[in-house]
Structure 1
Amino acid sequence: MATTRGEVRASLSRPRSIRLPGIVLGVGMGGFVDGILLHQLLQWHHMLSSTDQDHIGVKYYNAHTVSGLEMNTLWDGIFHTVCWLSVLLGLAILYSRVSHNRRRLWTSRVLWGWMFVGWGVFNLVEGVLDHHILGIHHVYAGDGQIWWDLGFLVLGALLAAGGFLLQRSGQPFDPHAPAGRSEGRRV
């Protein structure tokens, strides 16, 4: 496929997308909501709280014993470290791509939409992997746990779909444009 110099120059001058940093930030933030709300505040589960019924043979650590809670808390901490690294990585990528108008960026529907997509992706991947494939924990273990796990997946799908629609409804964001201008393609 032949391209003209003008097409190449135009593609090089386009702003870099905020899709990737938005999704990576959303993954980290979604993980933090899961870890802080479900693991710590509500204490519905920990990373290894259902390993007595898992599908891969991980040793069971009963979260109602001191040693079991210690091991579950350790793995919750590892989970939070991954979430924290995801947020730092997302911020680093975002910082590298946006050199002007950073304040305006944080009010952008495009960025928040991609962050919701990332949160939804987190819920879908973590829900399918940890709740269904590995079985190492469930949203709320016990009678009806399948419905809690499926609800978590539905929430993830809604977050991803809603975030995608939100970013589509936003104004394109050109990080190099002076304040007040929103020229360029949707990022």
Structure 2
Amino acid sequence: MTAENVNLKNHSNYATRSAYSARNLWSGFLFGLGLVAFIDETVFHQLLHWHHFYDKSTTDIGLVSDGLFHAFSWFATIGSLFMFADLRRRNALWLTRWWGGVLLGAGIFQLYDGTIQHKLMRLHQIRYNVNILPYDLTWNFIAIALIVAGTILIVRTRRRLQQQGETVSYEHQ
């Protein structure tokens, strides 16, 4: 392969990544959100029976709310996988950016659940009839760690994309 072909390939790769950067992020974000929602619903709602999505009514309403929550998590997950497949088909998949989106989506969902749904709206708690503080702290610290890790990956990929853009534009001047 000649040097000119390599430069054109690098420019093409940069252009593809640049054009689909946001889609990689959103696909990962939706996957992370759907995955963590699925794990939450499966482990804490179904297997451990610690709570329902909505605990302020009857058990029947709680089960219906769990079903709707479960459907939401799968719609987000399946939608993200369609986006993932499209990115692969277009040769525009950027796994590092996608994984950053996964971690960010998972962390934001978990932090939203732990702060807004548990504390502000009081739809449910992680557990009942126990000291809730260790559960809340663990839940929210894990969420913050996921958000930080996802943000680091996203920032790194943005810097790498900007550096590639500078290299490509400099080479073609």
Q: TM-score with structure 1 length normalisation? A: 0.67
1:134-168, CA deviations, whole angstroms, 9 ceiling, x for partnerless residues? 11111112232243123212111111112223455
- Taking a change above 3 Å as real, the CA distance of residues 72 and 100 of structure 1, as seen in their structure-2 partners, is same
Q: Which structure 1 residue ranges, 5 or more long, are not aligned?
A: 1-10, 52-59, 62-67, 175-182
**In the aligned structure 2, how far is the partner of 1:184 from the partner of 1:84?**
36
1:81 corresponds to which residue? Answer: 71
Give the % identical residues.
24
1:83-123, CA deviations, whole angstroms, 9 ceiling, x for partnerless residues? 01111221233333332558xx59x3332222011100110
> What amino acid is the match of 2:140?
L
2:39 corresponds to which residue? Answer: 33
- Taking a change above 3 Å as real, the CA distance of residues 172 and 22 of structure 1, as seen in their structure-2 partners, is farther
Residue in structure 1 matching 2:107, options 94, 113, 120: 120
**In the aligned structure 2, how far is the partner of 1:138 from the partner of 1:75?**
15
RMSD of aligned Cα (Å): 3.2
> What amino acid is the match of 2:68?
I
Residue in structure 2 matching 1:20, options 22, 26, 45: 26
2:89 corresponds to which residue? Answer: 99
**In the aligned structure 2, how far is the partner of 1:146 from the partner of 1:78?**
28
- Taking a change above 3 Å as real, the CA distance of residues 165 and 12 of structure 1, as seen in their structure-2 partners, is closer
> What amino acid is the match of 1:116?
L
* Contact 1:22/1:112, CA 8 A, preserved across alignment: yes
> What amino acid is the match of 2:139?
F
SS at match of 2:89: coil
**In the aligned structure 2, how far is the partner of 1:82 from the partner of 1:117?**
18
**In the aligned structure 1, how far is the partner of 2:68 from the partner of 2:147?**
25
Q: Larger deviation: 72-81 or 11-20?
A: 11-20
Q: TM-score with structure 2 length normalisation? A: 0.71
**In the aligned structure 2, how far is the partner of 1:101 from the partner of 1:48?**
42
Q: Which structure 2 residue ranges, 5 or more long, are not aligned?
A: 1-13, 166-173
**In the aligned structure 2, how far is the partner of 1:166 from the partner of 1:12?**
20
SS at match of 2:20: coil
Report 1:172-183 matches (<5 A). none
1:160 corresponds to which residue? Answer: 147
